[in-house]
Amino acid sequence: MNTTAPAGIFPLAGKTVSRLGFGTMRLTGPGTWGDPFDRPQAISVLRQAVYTHGITHIDTADAYGPHTVEELIHDALHPYPEDVLIATKVGMLRPAPNVWTPHGHPSYLRAAVEASLRRLRLDRLDLCYLHRIDPEVPLEDQLAVMQALQSEGKIGHIGLSKVTPKNILDASALVTIAAVQNVLNMTDHADPALEICWNMRIPYVPYRPLDAGTLAHAHGVAEPLRWLLNLGGHIAPIPSTSRPQHLQQIVAAVRGEV
């Protein structure tokens, strides 16, 4: 395994991981639905991320597929290296391709965590995000079940995804928030949650850092990723790709090799 962490090291959910993470949303079929067209390549990309490039922060969700990517991660990486952090997300229904429906009923969140543990073959999810806050369910009820699962040892740390500063403040009054995951890139660059996270010392994990490839085509890979990393030491981006060549470009960019 290449032990040189891309973009340096980063404290997240009780571990020290590579500051550059790997987002796995692209490892499905079209519409974030079903199996990837080339399953062996998806397995290979995951293995290359960890064992060739030294990426130790792997981000996923039960909604990717749904369930597909958690199964791929298991097949590619289990038993997991001790220094690898597998972060997943729960709280989203997938009734069809490209359709995403928040569902934060406590019994569903509990069942989703249990199912992720089985698919990933883990005893504990080191970092589990509430994928979306369900506006139909009180926030305190959604976080109460996450906290209960944490007390039971099934969740290590709790994160939030696609949230506002008020969401972060409200949630932080109830539980300890270990990470926030929002869209941030050179196009979508005005997220007020960024400053809140800095002030509260919460790691900020930007997804879509290359704006689904648009910014890479316009500026190359290096400029958008370096722009993000320079915004603050609390930022740990998770670019996603299904292609080994693109993964190599991403890692080279943050290491200053291109």
3-state secondary structure of 223: helix
- Cross-strand pairs, 157: 127
Question: Closest Cα to residue 29, out of 89, 120, 91, 98?
Answer: 98
CA 91 remoteness from chain centre:
14
Question: Do residues 181 and 13 make contact, with C-beta atoms less than 8 angstroms apart?
Answer: no
What φ, ψ does residue 12 adopt, rounded to 5°?
Answer: -150, 125
Eight-state DSSP code of residue 62: T
What is the C-alpha to C-alpha distance for residues 243 and 26, in angstroms, rounded to an integer?
9
Question: Do residues 178 and 203 make contact, with C-beta atoms less than 8 angstroms apart?
Answer: yes
Question: How many CA within 13 A on the CB side of residue 28?
Answer: 22
Q: 64 an active-site residue?
A: yes
Instruction: Give me the DSSP letters along 11-22.
Output: EETTEEEESS-E
What is the C-alpha to C-alpha distance for residues 133 and 136, in angstroms, rounded to an integer?
9
Q: Which of 64, 80, 129, 207 is catalytic?
A: 64
What is the C-alpha to C-alpha distance for residues 179 and 13, in angstroms, rounded to an integer?
8
Which are the catalytic amino acids? 64
